[in-house]
Amino acid sequence: MTILVTGGAGYIGSHTVLYLQEKGEEVIVLDNFTKGHYDALLNTTYYEGNLHDDELLDKVFTNHSIDSVIHFAASSLVGESVADPLSYYKNNVLGTHHLVNKIVEHGVKRIVFSSTAATYGEPDSIPIKEDDSTIPTNPYGETKLAIERMLKWCEDAYGLKSVSLRYFNAAGADPESRIGEDHNPETHLIPIVLEVANGQREFMKIFGHDYATEDGTCVRDYIHVMDLAQAHYLAVRKLRDTKQSGVYNLGNGQGFSVNEVLEACRNVTGRLIPAREAPRRPGDPAVLIASSEKAKQELGWDPQYSELETMVQHAWNWHKEHKDGFIK
Ligand code: UDP
């Protein structure tokens, strides 16, 4: 029984591949390597290509006895999605349509889908629960929500079981520092702050300091990437054991402000890390915190690295040794 991981060379994908392998699962990866890294795969078997390539998908499903698919491959930058929504509909919605079509054609019955907190838009209340309203405020969230809904209808029509995992803010790196986070361009808070600590940027910008939060900066729910990986493994197991589909939030349940993240980075790195106040980033809600009770109860999810300083420490261990990220 092999698990196909699409987008397995990306940040969350590669950590999930590593986690699955440590649990004894057979894994293969499909990635187009526009954002993913060869070096993030360590020694995993991979196929290089796009989800739109039906011939390649046929080859993958024919060459391997795939029992489940974990689907990460997607475009995932909010700002880019606002500037170029059509490319997001193409890569995310149409790409997944091709993939699911082949999943159904080849008789695979399980898919775990990488979704996002961006499906909610402005939260109704905090902490956010899975049945709160979903009104995305950007095409990225909109395309992920469209896929969640497509999967629901595919269950009714074709018996395809699915778990959609809505991540909050992925952070940290493999505790053994074999792989880490490397985006180009980098837009995420923790790696940007660590680039300042590494002397690669002069200062970091705090986007907005007049939010209705305790210290005026945005509050987010940071969750360790290996804890996300664990949830994917548990989701596959749940689909194998119970055949029950579901949608789950994955977050820490506690929020940290931009200032708190900055302070944690200063403590962990022992570096000064200059910061400047900057205007708000358009579209940023003040507070996003998940309720992850459902994932804990139904998947048996048990996050191991909930301390902010642990996440920053693991990220820093990798970043300070890989200033230029992955080489390949
Ligand atoms: N942020 C910031 N400076 C940066 C990058 C991010 O102040 O250089 C803030 C951003 O406004 C948000 C939080 O840090 O409130 C987390 O942003 P990130 O892009 O990491 O994740 P998001 O919450 O957008 O998914």
Å from CA of 185 to ligand 1 middle: 14
Residue nearest to atom 25 of ligand 1 (CA): 169
Any domain includes 178: no
136 and 244 fall within a common domain: yes
| pLDDT in the model for residue 283 | 80
99 lines ligand 1 (CB under 6 A): no
272 and 295 fall within a common domain: yes
| pLDDT in the model for residue 64 | 98
Residue pair 271/204 in contact (Cβ under 8 Å)? The answer is no
117 lines ligand 1 (CB under 6 A): no
Residue pair 175/224 in contact (Cβ under 8 Å)? The answer is no
Closest CA to 192 of 207, 178, 177: 207
148 and 261 fall within a common domain: no
204 lines ligand 1 (CB under 6 A): yes
Any domain includes 182: no
216 and 125 fall within a common domain: no
Which domain-ending residue is among 235, 250, 265?
250
Å from CA of 196 to ligand 1 middle: 15
User: Which tokens in the block code for residue 154?
Assistant: 């595919």
Residue nearest to atom 18 of ligand 1 (CA): 188
Q: How far apart are the first and last CA of the chain?
A: 29
Number of domains in the chain: 2
Residue nearest to atom 22 of ligand 1 (CA): 169
202 and 118 fall within a common domain: no
Which domain-ending residue is among 250, 265, 293?
250
| pLDDT in the model for residue 327 | 80
Residue nearest to atom 19 of ligand 1 (CA): 188
C-alpha–C-alpha distance, residues 231 and 53, integer Å = 29
CATH number of domain containing 264: 3.90.25.10
Q: Give the Cα-Cα-Cα angle 150, 239, 146 (nearest 5 degrees).
A: 15
Any domain includes 125: yes
The atom number, within ligand 1, closest to the CA of 218 reads 15
111 and 162 fall within a common domain: yes
For residue 24, the enclosing domain spans 2-171+223-250
Amino acid at 66: I
Residue nearest to atom 10 of ligand 1 (CA): 207
C-alpha–C-alpha distance, residues 301 and 311, integer Å = 18
Any domain includes 285: yes
Residue partners of 228: CB distance under 8 A and separation at least 6: 12, 15, 16, 165, 167, 170, 250
Å from CA of 181 to ligand 1 middle: 15
The atom number, within ligand 1, closest to the CA of 118 reads 25
C-alpha–C-alpha distance, residues 28 and 318, integer Å = 24
223 lines ligand 1 (CB under 6 A): no
- Could you give the 3-state DSSP secondary structure of residue 301? coil
Q: How many CA atoms does the CB half-sphere of 109 hold within 13 Å?
A: 10
pTM: 0.97
Q: Is the peptide bond before 136 cis (omega within 30 degrees of 0)?
A: no
196 and 272 fall within a common domain: yes
280 lines ligand 1 (CB under 6 A): no
Render each residue's pLDDT in the chain as its tens digit; 328 residues.
Answer: 999 999 999 999 999 999 999 999 999 999 999 999 999 999 999 999 999 999 999 999 999 999 999 999 999 999 899 999 999 999 999 999 999 999 999 999 999 999 999 999 999 999 999 999 999 999 999 999 999 999 999 999 999 999 999 999 999 999 999 999 999 989 999 999 999 999 999 999 999 999 999 999 999 999 999 999 999 999 999 999 999 999 999 999 999 999 999 999 999 999 999 999 999 988 888 999 999 999 999 999 999 999 999 999 999 999 999 998 998 7
Any domain includes 179: no
240 and 212 fall within a common domain: no
User: Which tokens in the block code for residue 252?
Assistant: 């820490």
User: Which tokens in the block code for residue 53?
Assistant: 């390539």
158 and 245 fall within a common domain: yes
83 and 231 fall within a common domain: yes
CATH number of domain containing 125: 3.40.50.720
Closest CA to 36 of 89, 72, 85, 82: 72
Any domain includes 180: no
Which domain-ending residue is among 212, 231, 250?
250
The atom number, within ligand 1, closest to the CA of 168 reads 25
138 and 101 fall within a common domain: yes
The atom number, within ligand 1, closest to the CA of 288 reads 23
Any domain includes 197: yes
Å from CA of 284 to ligand 1 middle: 8
Q: Write down the H helix ranges in the chain.
A: 11-22, 54-63, 78-83, 85-88, 95-105, 139-158, 189-197, 225-242, 258-269, 293-294, 308-321
Any domain includes 204: yes
199 and 99 fall within a common domain: no
